[in-house]
Structure 1
Amino acid sequence: MTEPRTTPEPEGQVSDAVQGNWVDQWAPEITRPYLRLSRADRPIGTWLLFLPCVMGLLLSMLSNNRASLHDLWILIACGLGAFLMRGAGCTWNDITDRKIDAKVARTRSRPIPSGQVTVPGAVIWMLLQALLGLLILLTFYANAIWLGILAIVPVLIYPFAKRFTWWPQVFLGIAFNWGALLAWTAHSNNLAWPALVLYLSGITWTLFYDTIYAHQDKEDDALIGVKSTARLFAHNTPRWLMFFLIATVLLMAIAVYGATKDRSMLSMVFALIGPWAMGWHLQWQMQNLDTENPDVLIRLFRSNRNTGLIPLLFFAGALFM
């Protein structure tokens, strides 16, 4: 009897990469280790960096009731910047974590611990991505440029956070949601309080999804002494996730109110449906949560792309009301 044929995994594929991703299937072989280092084979991180940018841009447009072709460029630039700076940040993370990654089952197949990329090669790749990101940033207003440069600080700190605090997810949230401040300022050339509240909302959202993500590694993390909210919360995780859910929705609703208070009542109400609908998607994640099942955890984590897209539909719709 003939055994069924199976398609072998591409050489060097990272263990938690999306199956059939474009890097492993279509990218030139010489570029694959570097694209894997940038997590291009795992695009959810780029989405989670990009979505707060779009939220900040749309709320800024709602706030001053002004739109132009420059806003289209801001949107495109934020997309390119999210890809590049997420790649640079992940490269930095893997450089600093290379010894830890070699001890964790899920991460030992990453390019540096698996020997696909050398540390000097990774440094050069990181600087190239950062330089391209800077060139894009320089097309914005001066205030936005300074904000973008300041964003480097939490990016540099984040990989070390799990060594000194049980709350490294806070540092990830600070870094990953900076785009909400940047995109707001890129549109309006000033930073207003609704953008800051939106930023806080993004941080609590990050605490929600990255706690789910961190549960995948909690056993390995405990063995090597790495801290995380997943280890800190343990069996109380659902209670904490509910707190983060409520905080995310309330803070985003306050930001929406601040951005739309001078618009029509219809526009405000429609935009306010966004945080509410987002909250229902977060609730769905909690209903399906199984902190001991890695397949469920990664699926729920990746579903946060849709979580972030939901309020954008309502923010965009409110622009036309």
Structure 2
Amino acid sequence: MKTLKEIFEDSGAASAPYNTALKVQICGLGQTSSYKNASGEQRQSLTMGIADRTMAAKGILYDVSKASSLKVGSTVMLLNVIVKKESRSIVMTNRSKLLKTGPFTEALPAQIVQQGLQLACPPPAELVAINKIKTSPVKTMVSIRGQVVSEEMERTVKVSGEDTAVRSFKIKDDTASCKVSLWRDLSKTKTAVGSHFEITNVIVQVYNDEKSVSTTSRTKLLPITAPDVKKRVAFIAFEVVDNGFFSLTGDLDDGDYPEFLIKTGLLAKALQCQPKEVEVRLLSKLPLKADIIIKEKEVKEIQIQPQ
């Protein structure tokens, strides 16, 4: 019985049926992907990572009805598969057999098993600040985090002659903002204004000289808690609000005048006065500069700079 390495290094055709038994261990099971065959019929496939003692390879299963019997760590005997040498992958069709068999005599090297797992479940693309998107080449895959600041209605466009759902929203972090296009099923995802997301494996694209990102088959939208953000702000005005809070208006020198909520007790401590004296103390000190840590719009820490 040949090993994976021997099969891929064989001098035969680049893509050819392989009818001899092939023993492999399942290292990882990826997500199911949808596609259309040559007849335009909707189909699904499953990516997996497989390995033996010589190497790891990608496996593509086009008969997902057989996936229910697959388990990570189990060993299977493959029959009637297609070997694709250029991509180092094994294709399993509806004619292929995936049969249970005993484990290898010796445990596979951990490094090879890890390589197989990453073939099935690749790590997400690099997490970058949103301002990096403007300088990233088109088609670069990245991951981003930020807060949703606006969203559009879902619409339908033609892609390869098919009606395809897409919806866009704008997301920002503390460096910049950009548009995100959600395609197909992801367009149904709720992205309320003000919510925070980590969006993995999106592709940089450009339209009308504007860089944005677009989802892929590997994209995941993960809700996250609002991060703590450090800022140096010049406060220029305030308003007393209910429930023991003040609203401080800042000047960020970019034409933006954001408002920040802060508890009266925290502000009194920073101003070194009693809570009932905060309003008078603010009137005597404005404008004042401060280093703050905020979550959403609420100040969690404040250190006032000497005037």
TM over 0.5: no
- Tell me the TM-score range normalised by the shorter chain: under 0.3
TM-score normalised according to structure 1 size: 0.20
* Structure showing the higher helix proportion among its residues: 1
* Structure showing the higher strand proportion among its residues: 2
